[in-house]
Structure 1
Amino acid sequence: MTRISSGTRILSISHYQPSRVLSNDDLAAAVDTSDEWVRSRVGIATRHIAAEDESVADMAASAAAKAVALAGVDTADIGLVIVATSTAVDRMPSVAARVARRLEIPSPAVFDLNAACAGFSYALATAALAIQGGSSRIALVVGVDKMSDFLDWQDRSTCVIFGDGAGAVVVSATEGAEPDGVGPVVWGSRPQNGSAITLETTGPAGPPALFRQEGHAVYRWALTSLAPVARQACERAEVAVSDLAAVVTHQANLRIIETVTKQIGASGAIIARDVVDSGNTSAASIPLALSKLVERGEVPGAAPVLLLGFGAGLSYAAQVVACPPAAQVHSRRSTT
């Protein structure tokens, strides 16, 4: 049997955010908090919240449709659709299948992937491996979450953190001698500490599932474990940390972002801080933040960018990617 081996590249990137913006002052009217309290602890000023009737699939399809259009590919050539999410309400069909149907992608492999806030990085790595192995030539990868459906809006330690949104990329095989645009992934988990972040159901007769986390435990884990993973991803991609154009971590918390990126040593890189405006959008946070950086012209096309996802499980994944050009970046926001 012949194994087809190919490099991979990101052709396009896009993002979607709901139109409703919730400020810290808005939250302070409903829960015991304040703008100063939230900013000093997590660095967040605003977040976007989806409408009650706006689903995970709606947001995913909005981001995905624009990414596909910008990539200039025929939907018939998309052989794989992966949606990273942990907040899909329905079990079947998958969000990926629903996105494929809406975009009229005729016969792709479709599945959802749940690695929580590390989900996009896991999905991107999985798509790259599928392309490198010859199973697909073009893949659509979406990170999306509607965390607002699973928040305790009376718990100020968690309800102030999250927002809703989606980000999508189109990934393809490289052509000829074109350099690889998605570096090797460094991934893993610390499952023995998985109870630090949960969104657990109690059955049809029990209370609704709500997000819970042991914030201090997660903070300590992030600050002691993630920088070595990021540096290893740079080594595997044969990219010096000093040569990174940008670092896009999961947008969990501004203090975590700034401390971990300082530990990595990428002093000359642009650091994504979309958490300030968007909150923690879970699996959507990395593509959403990267899309905005490129849209604003802060990262040139083909420049090396370090992606670092981490979240429940406690799971993590890091890879270096070549940034798509600014002409192939677009955002979409609802007008309803």
Structure 2
Amino acid sequence: MTARPTLRQQTGAPAARILGFGSHQPDRVVTNDDLSQVMDTNDQWIRDRVGIIERRFGDKDELLVDFAVAAGAAALADAGVEPSEVDTLILPNCTMPTQIPNAAAQVAARIGIPNPGAFDLNAACAGFCYGLGVASDLIRAGSAKKALVIGAEKLTDAVDPTDRANAIIFADGAGAAVVGGSDEPGIGPVVWGSAGELVDLIYMRDGKYIYQEGQSVFRWATTQIAPIALRALEAAGLQPSDVDVLVPHQANLRIVESIAKKLRAKGAREDLVVADDIKYSGNTSSASIPMAIDHMRKAGTAKSGDVVLAVGFGAGLSYAGQAFILP
């Protein structure tokens, strides 16, 4: 009897870390007063409800792929990594207008990344944390050496402009991170999951427009997400007091503040820096976490070496979070 051959296995870097961040937003700024010209709303109502002051909308001829290319190129420049060094591109999004071709391969070609493994990932607003977890694991397994993770969305293509409950929230943009190998852990384990029994809380109405049961989603997020964030810290061997920067998905300022309050009640420091990019960027789904981090680094409110706790949540209902060190 012939012996079965043994399949060779490969091993990668001992750990993974983030090497750089980048982001991109379209030029067009849309204020609450601008929205009040096309729907029954006003600046104070929007600020009180979701905390948004302004957001960015892409023009008709601007594409999700365009935003992703700009953010990805910026992240590579920040990391000092050449496109030729990247072998994997992961592109979390939920608003790509076509299923085929995917966004990732197009973006890789335009950035100049030669023949990478390239795929889209749809976990809605949890997408970036999912993508970062996958990239870290691929690098540690030896399946990738350097990965580019880009959360990109053009949500204005998927929002009914007359629906004031949703049109005031969503916006466009992209955020990206470069992930590489490391001798010391720079990214903690991803803690992820889903509540599929609540799938009907966020869906595409008529297969065209995003619809969500706002109050139900709010209650779920303000009760369930802080415990998930704490689980991510536990998985990384950290305490709440170790966290310097908290970056929840920028869905609603009231949700962000609720998560921060619950973490402080569990021992997070009073000087914990909490992302509030929602105020000027709106809800950009899978782009919101990396975009917020890039903006905070540029503003100096988050610095190299800081311990970041990120947690994403959204349609599915899907959620994911992890701790990592800022480059």
Verify same fold: TM over 0.5.
Answer: yes
* One of 143, 155, 159 as aligned partner of 1:147: 155
Consecutive unaligned residues of structure 2, counting only runs of 5 or more, are 1-7
Q: How far is 1:231 from its partner?
A: 0.6
Q: Could you say which residue in structure 1 is the equivalent of 2:193?
A: 188
Contact kept in structure 2, 1:48 and 1:165, CA below 8 Å:
yes
User: What CA deviation, in whole Å up to 9, does each residue of 1:105-144 have, x standing for no partner?
Assistant: 1121000000000001101101111101000110000001
Equivalent position SS for 2:169: coil
Find out whether 1:318 has 2:310 as its counterpart. no
Q: Could you say which residue in structure 2 is the equivalent of 1:214?
A: 213
* One of 296, 320, 323 as aligned partner of 2:299: 296
* One of 168, 171, 190 as aligned partner of 2:179: 171
User: What CA deviation, in whole Å up to 9, does each residue of 1:132-187 have, x standing for no partner?
Assistant: 1000110000001111001111111110011100001110011xxx4211100110
**Separation in 2, partners of 1:3, 1:201:** 46
Q: Could you say which residue in structure 1 is the equivalent of 2:11?
A: 4
Q: Could you say which residue in structure 1 is the equivalent of 2:284?
A: 281
Consecutive unaligned residues of structure 1, counting only runs of 5 or more, are 203-208, 325-336
* One of 263, 270, 274 as aligned partner of 1:271: 274
Q: How far is 1:93 from its partner?
A: 1.8
* One of 40, 50, 54 as aligned partner of 2:48: 40
Find out whether 1:306 has 2:309 as its counterpart. yes
Contact kept in structure 2, 1:64 and 1:167, CA below 8 Å:
yes
Equivalent position SS for 2:176: strand
User: What CA deviation, in whole Å up to 9, does each residue of 1:186-234 have, x standing for no partner?
Assistant: 10010010110012554xxxxxx00100001101111111111101111
Q: Could you say which residue in structure 1 is the equivalent of 2:97?
A: 89
Find out whether 1:110 has 2:118 as its counterpart. yes
1:240 partner amino acid: Q
Q: Percent identity?
A: 44
Q: Could you say which residue in structure 1 is the equivalent of 2:85?
A: 77
TM-score (norm 2): 0.94
Equivalent position SS for 2:84: helix
**Separation in 2, partners of 1:271, 1:157:** 25
Corresponding pairs, count: 315
Contact kept in structure 2, 1:139 and 1:170, CA below 8 Å:
yes
> RMSD of the TM alignment (CA)?
1.1
Find out whether 1:16 has 2:24 as its counterpart. yes
1:252 partner amino acid: A
TM-score (norm 1): 0.92
Q: Could you say if the C-alpha distance between residues 200 and 112 of structure 1 is closer, same or farther in structure 2, counting changes exceeding 3 Å?
A: farther
Contact kept in structure 2, 1:244 and 1:268, CA below 8 Å:
no
User: What CA deviation, in whole Å up to 9, does each residue of 1:240-296 have, x standing for no partner?
Assistant: 111211000000000000011111223331000000001101110000001111111
Q: Which runs of 4+ in 1 moved over 4 A?
A: none
